[in-house]
């Protein structure tokens, strides 16, 4: 059940960051900071047992949400990227804990995987 909650939080955080950054035109850094701060304050309060893990997953997805609108055309594409980010976060949860760059690397891999998927499968008709 914890994994499902992580995936849901990842999707919400990624889409929220994407919307603040690209639709509300606040920029990717401010958008990620807002979502990371809000999740860091609220999730441990509402989920005392796993709130810190959820806040970390939200931060990770907010990094993926910094993607430009040219690479993720709409919030639905961002939802797919965020889902992939959540899956990779769960898969790498015990790898390199405490080592800097893990969350950003997960976010970057998710974005690159989505771009590769679009290039291979969506670009076939061109």
pLDDT along the chain (126 residues), means of 10: 96 98 96 98 97 97 96 96 98 84 96 94 66
Tell me the C-alpha distance between 52 and 9, whole Å.
Answer: 12
**Cβ-contact 13, 57 below 8 angstroms:** yes
Task: State residue 56's pLDDT score.
Answer: 97
The domain ranges of the chain are 1-122
Q: How far is it, in rounded angstroms, from Cα 81 to Cα 42?
A: 23
Name the residue with tokens 């430009």: 68
DSSP state at residue 32: H
Q: Which helix (H) or strand (E) holds 52?
A: helix 51-64
Tell me how far apart the alpha carbons of residues 13 and 86 are, in angstroms, rounded to a whole number: 10
């Amino acid at each position: 059940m914890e994994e499902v909650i992580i995936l849901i939080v990842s999707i919400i955080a990624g889409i929220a960051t994407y919307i603040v950054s690209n639709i509300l035109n606040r920029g990717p850094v401010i958008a990620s900071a807002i979502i990371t701060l809000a999740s860091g304050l609220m999730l441990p309060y509402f989920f005392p047992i796993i709130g810190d893990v959820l806040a970390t997953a939200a931060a990770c997805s907010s990094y993926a949400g910094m993607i430009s609108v040219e690479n993720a055309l709409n919030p639905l594409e961002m939802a797919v990227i965020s889902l992939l980010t959540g899956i990779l976060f769960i898969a790498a949860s015990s790898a390199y804990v405490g080592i800097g760059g893990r969350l950003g690397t997960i976010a970057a891999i998710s974005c690159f995987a989505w771009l590769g998927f679009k290039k291979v499968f969506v670009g076939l008709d061109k």
